[in-house]
Structure 1
């Protein structure tokens, strides 16, 4: 989910969805042509309707990506807005990583990235490190607006403000005004470059993937989405079910519930999972008794009287001022479940006047050079401001926070974790609401694997059973003691995922029985 993107410990520890394709485009293209025989899996140029695939160099990535060595690459060109027949075209980077097996299975896997705003090509290493290409090709396409797409709707001004904001009161109205000004600047810059900002959403992105499958002449493929990619996957399987053999979703964000209230309930679930694991571990429970009460007290105390400290973080040559108020602490823990073993000790140190560990983690990701210029804020706000904010009132958002955390001050509850100042941001982003159907639940008999982590405080594990209510062939799996996006952190989750793609209606979940809680750090 955006503003708290998935980042693994080797990069950023604990930093932290309108037009519709016409029905005729789903069948054999009336205007399509093949320039060489199809079926070569990305090695031939092909036009299907208004979309065209062309082989070519692999998409750019911020750093060298070993997983892309030997990949078959190219671009997919599609309309920016399918409702405008004469509108401009945009180009999406495509990379197909071949199966490790000598004789791959015929149905590849397409990877849907997190965010919204992360680039799938940039997540290729995560997928391949998890063995996803064991016996199937894996296809990565940059979603519209992302880093390796053209245009790329990235906004370093927002990222740079995020770095400066670690020295500001997180919840303060003055911080909110600066936040919204950074958003306004981003919008003005992207609009000046000709971007039709209302065309960056789930509906258009789902159509992009439907076009990609047909342009690559793939009769049937499998879908695997992480984080925001689950939001897109659920819309995709509802809008374009043709050719989808199975769907895996990991870190689930249901489109029908997406918004601020959902982030509050997710935070509650993840926090409770971590605190419960500590309470069940005798050494942790003795040293850090009643962590929920400690955390609750710290949020209220810091909101009344923020703590300011100075820390040194990687990527910064000089000490950095960090302000911790109640909202900052909530947002820190939302991502800190990725480094769960150290959380009890960090909270205890904060409670005893030592905020440095939390301050270093809170600031570290935001000040990293890797935090600047990579996220497509144009796509993020396209999703937030068309499909989320129009369908959730401010009162509903605050009520969701109060139900999850009844003792939190109103100033904390006003800024949902991961989504601070979202409503005023969307007011300046100024795009139309998506059709109400974008909030429909997905009803489908496509076999689905619904994966969650027991410590996931970004997209709570309760979202798995929720989406499965209308997916009768779904398998719901919660991997205990794991944070957001379990495929990235859990060998068991990787094994379950590979088993699912082999037998989508009966994945092997036997490894779950052998999982043990982390050994929590015990400080002096």
Structure 2
């Protein structure tokens, strides 16, 4: 059995794609994608019930929350049909509306997964960055769904995460099937002891929780936003509590019939064809990256036969602990698939595949693998419980993946078999098959899709919308997994929809086509930026900070030469003094000394300023370049200033030696000039250590 549950986690909304047990035994990561969040009205306007228990927002890891933001737990039954039975506590955050005329119905926000933390993903962003809030005239209610990070109990499985990390490290021992399954079995047994009835952690009870939280907070009617798995939860809510829901926004829509155990390979095939086929149909992309799809599959086979060792750092560790990881084809495929969830990565995908085919795994090792290997917020137990409840009775004996790539066919069958074994071991009670039927409803629903979504394509929204009487579907041609929060078009659509759910929101703003793929000639990789991306931990950032401060200090001292020599020269003339330059060739250097050091200061200052400007403009037009540690190549000319300053620096050093050996200028003048020369050396050294001296 091959086993890898691919995983990611980054800033908001998610879906997890189940065990993709592939080429190398002993590996499991969960594939999780991201998105971002929102805000809500004064709790004082509503009367929380006794089920609400306030707590400090810092207990949820929320930094600097204003007093108006309310944090607490809502106690709900473990089984809503047994109100006097065991109970659980749902972590909840209420962010009040930002307008004086707040609407009474809030917006509930549901994270994906299943198993993702809504609070961890959205709260800080929505509280501290108002630009990410699509509406300001409604309360935002964030709650961690039952079993997730901040709720009690949380169905976390650190033993699985530890085994996953151990399995990919260099020289890892090959494990038997039983050994590979052991962490899952151990986690299931532990959670059954700690949490009790694991079968209660399902989408039916999850939807009932929404109604319970609304009642506890005093809301008679709510609006609902869900992303990815959150859209499935939203459909269950529409079916189970239609009287509560005023309107729903389903972003990255998951049909209730979608089977995470068996259906993922089909959507993976679709997105692969979309990227590789799109590049082949684009003359410039095809010329820059010929036969990209074939080369990618061949690369995966090569890495399966001979894995490449890469260094991966834990960004959450203060010292940036490094691990030697053997990168095989399956792990690379999982890592690049995860990149497809980030819309800003769209233009870079062909380039990243091409670089990997040529042996450059820097981006994979410094950005993608850390996201996969070191996320500790995903409630794997919640994921397993939900998926097993919905699909644990799947018959995998006659699965057909005809027409799919060989790798997808193999991993699809193996993943389904592995997950079904986990479901049996956890003894999760299956839900009635009626939960998979389409939800029939007349509740207004806004369905948002992205053409480049790697897991929930636009056809899913059409499938769900077919049974909804008042649905509005908007497809974003350049969109990926989740459109809301930060996208002005999507956020505007949500605002207009919530203001008037019965009016079709104009979706013309969504029709912007995706930009062109970035070609090698468009990109200039800067080692300084690559190092910053790969060293985003306390130790790495401290090093960058030290070098940056030394560079700035040197620049300030150098810059002092311009006013100092200008004022000093004027003073000498006014006093009628003569600067002693001596004779010979050194006299010319003595005369030119102020001009040399001022020229170096100007060149270095211009370089640093233009480099900062190039960063801002590059990332404004192509945010993905930040992840790559690069700027647009059109700014390559700015490095000419740095190299010109290097030439001047060499002359400055020679001049400093000449001034001392020939006793030219005053002693104070020689000391000051030497200090300037040392400052220039410090600046250039810092630039070199930061990797900012790139050939233009």
TM over 0.5, shorter chain: yes
1:43-442 paired onto structure 2 within 5 Å: 44-46=47-49, 52-58=51-57, 60-62=59-61, 64-65=62-63, 70-122=68-120, 123-127=122-126, 129-167=131-169, 174=175, 177-279=178-280, 281-303=282-304, 305-315=305-315, 317=320, 319-337=322-340, 338=342, 339-368=345-374, 371-372=375-376, 374-390=377-393, 392-395=394-397, 398-400=399-401, 402-403=402-403, 405-408=404-407, 411-416=410-415, 421-442=418-439
Match of 1:33 in 2: none
CA distance in 2 between counterparts of 1:459 and 1:68 reads 36
Question: For the aligned residues, what is the CA RMSD?
Answer: 3.2
Per the alignment, residue 478 of structure 1 pairs with 475
| Runs of 5+ consecutive residues of structure 1 not aligned to the other structure | 17-38
- SS for the counterpart of 1:332 is helix
Corresponding residue for 2:640? Answer: none
Measure the CA separation in 1 of the matches of 2:417 and 2:11: 23
CA drift at 1:151:
1.6
Question: Equivalents in 2 of 1:410, 1:282: separation in Å?
Answer: 31
Question: SS of the residue aligned with 1:92?
Answer: strand
- Distance in 1, matches of 2:408 and 2:263, equals 18
Contact 2:118/2:142 (8 A) holds in 1: yes
Partners of 2:358 and 2:237 in 1: how far apart?
Answer: 49
Aligned equivalents of 2:78 and 2:84: distance in 1?
Answer: 10
Work out the CA distance in 2 between the residues paired with 1:178 and 1:69: 50
Q: Measured at CA, do residues 302 and 310 of structure 1 come closer, stay the same or move farther in structure 2, by a change above 3 Å?
A: closer
Matches of 1:381 and 1:60 in 2, distance apart? 26
Report the Cα offset of residue 254 of structure 1: 1.6
For 1:161-198, what per-residue CA distance to the aligned partner results, in whole angstroms no more than 9, with x for missing partners? Answer: 2333333899x993754442111121122122242111
For structure 2, the residue ranges without an aligned partner over 5 or more in a row are 13-29, 33-41, 524-696
> Which string of whole-angstrom CA distances, capped at 9 and with x for unpartnered residues, describes residues 453-483 of structure 1?
2221122232111111111311222212232
Q: Distance in 2 between matches of 1:459 and 1:225?
A: 13
Runs ≥4 in structure 1, deviation > 6 angstroms? none
Give a deviation string over 1:379-406, Cα, whole Å, max 9, x none: 211101110232x32245x524x44x23
What secondary structure does 1:208 align onto? Answer: helix
Larger Rg: 2
TM-score between the two structures when normalised by the length of structure 1: 0.82
Distance 1:45 1:409 in 2: 50
CA contact (8 A) 1:442 1:470 kept: yes
Aligned residues: 482
- The higher-RCO structure (CA 8 Å, 6+ apart) is 1
8 Å CA contact 2:131–2:486 kept in 1: the answer is: no
Distance in 1 between residues matched to 2:356 and 2:43, nearest whole Å? 58
* 1:344 Cα offset (Å): 1.4
If each structure's helix is expressed as a fraction of its own residues, which one has the higher value? Answer: 2
TM-score, scaled to structure 2: 0.63
> 1:455 — aligned with what?
452
